[in-house]
Amino acid sequence: MNNCSICNSKDLKVSYFEYQKTTFKRYDCLSCSFTESEKLGDKESDQAKYSSKQYKIKNIYRIPILLNFIDFINYRLILKKFGLNKDSYILDFGCGKGIFIKFLSYFGFNNLHGYEIEKNRSKFAKNLNKNANIYLNSSEFKQNKFDFISLIHVLEHIKDPEKIIKEIKQKLNRDGILLIEVPNFYSASSRFAKNYWAHFTPQYHTNHFSINSLKKLLKNNGFKIKTCSTLNLYHGYNSVFSSFLKLIGFKSSNFYQTLKFRFYLLGPAYVLLFPFIYLFEVFFSFKSDGSVIRIISKT
Ligand SMILES: [Zn+2]
């Protein structure tokens, strides 16, 4: 890689680091503060990666729905604020198990679509959302146009983020809304936990965004930025809590796996620490240093 994937600058700082006994190469763009990492000699496809044991699908959706509840109410308000109604065409790009779609259907949205390339997740999403259209291949919804597309914790995984943004632009109607959420690489929790940060999983997350680099990606592709925030209750909280677990020596980067494994110890800690961690996130979000970047933009 000679140029930054976001701003095309050649001003890259290259370094190497070890993560879980594997060597990774890291590129920091000194111009737009975008960071990219790659596993040396990585030939594994994305499909194979997300079918692996680490990303094994767990048959749960009620707990995330419960924990996500406040964020979901927030998404509902966002949809309303941007003029979307129950008949608007909505696509969750990289919908995973389809939990966001499930929530939108609870709220009465009728035209729900999800796209997920990992076949087990796609199947799960399909079973969970009988009234929605879940696609495994992008060719299946080539002709469709949408009023709202969400990319929630997707862009950090994709090798060529600009290609996806261009593709999405084509799929949005005029004045269509794009909601993006990615981990905030320059958040307080990330600066504090460094390589132990919950979202610093370079085998899966190849892109590490700053607010600046994400805005640049969108503006370069003709999107107008409407709002930007760094407060997300569910991902923010889990990010801080599981970074803390990694810092004190828990090996698994899979949060639910760790929680289940030591439930009697960690379950109460998860509940007791909630107000403190949440205050931490609220406080830092005022300085745009919360754990998750959420940008809403318009075509
Ligand atoms: Zn750059």
49 HSE (CA, 13 A, CB side): 16
Output the pTM of the full model.
0.90
- Summary mean pLDDT of the chain: 89
What pLDDT score was predicted for residue 244? Answer: 85
Confidence check: pLDDT of 247 > 60: yes
Split at pLDDT 50, 70, 90, the class of 55 is low
What pLDDT score was predicted for residue 43? Answer: 64
CA of 157 to the centre of ligand 1 (A): 17
Alpha-carbon span 204 to 222, nearest angstrom: 28
CA of 160 to the centre of ligand 1 (A): 13
Fold of 51-298: Rossmann fold (3.40.50)
CA of 154 to the centre of ligand 1 (A): 19
CA of 3 to the centre of ligand 1 (A): 8
Average pLDDT over residues 188-203: 89
CA of 168 to the centre of ligand 1 (A): 21
What pLDDT score was predicted for residue 264? Answer: 72
CA of 38 to the centre of ligand 1 (A): 16
Confidence check: pLDDT of 41 > 80: no
Percentages (nearest 5) of helix, strand, coil residues in the chain: 40, 25, 35
Confidence check: pLDDT of 191 > 90: yes
- Beta-strand ranges (E) seen in 42-199 are 89-93, 111-115, 133-135, 146-152, 172-183
CA of 35 to the centre of ligand 1 (A): 8
CA of 93 to the centre of ligand 1 (A): 24
Alpha-carbon span 93 to 122, nearest angstrom: 11
* Residue 19, strand partner residues: 22
Higher pLDDT, 290 or 21: 290
Contact in structure between 182 and 156 (CB atoms under 8 Å): yes
Confidence check: pLDDT of 110 > 60: yes
CA of 212 to the centre of ligand 1 (A): 9
Cα–Cα distances (Å) from 37 to 27, 44, 92, in that order, read 6, 15, 26
- Beta-strand ranges (E) seen in 121-254 are 133-135, 146-152, 172-183, 207-208, 224-229
- Backbone torsion region of residue 247, taken as left when φ is above 0, otherwise alpha when ψ lies between -120 and 50, otherwise beta: alpha
Name the pairing type of β-strands 172-183 and 146-152.
parallel
pLDDT in tens, 208-236: 999 999 999 999 999 999 999 999 888 88
CA of 10 to the centre of ligand 1 (A): 8
Sequence ranges of the domains in the chain? 51-298
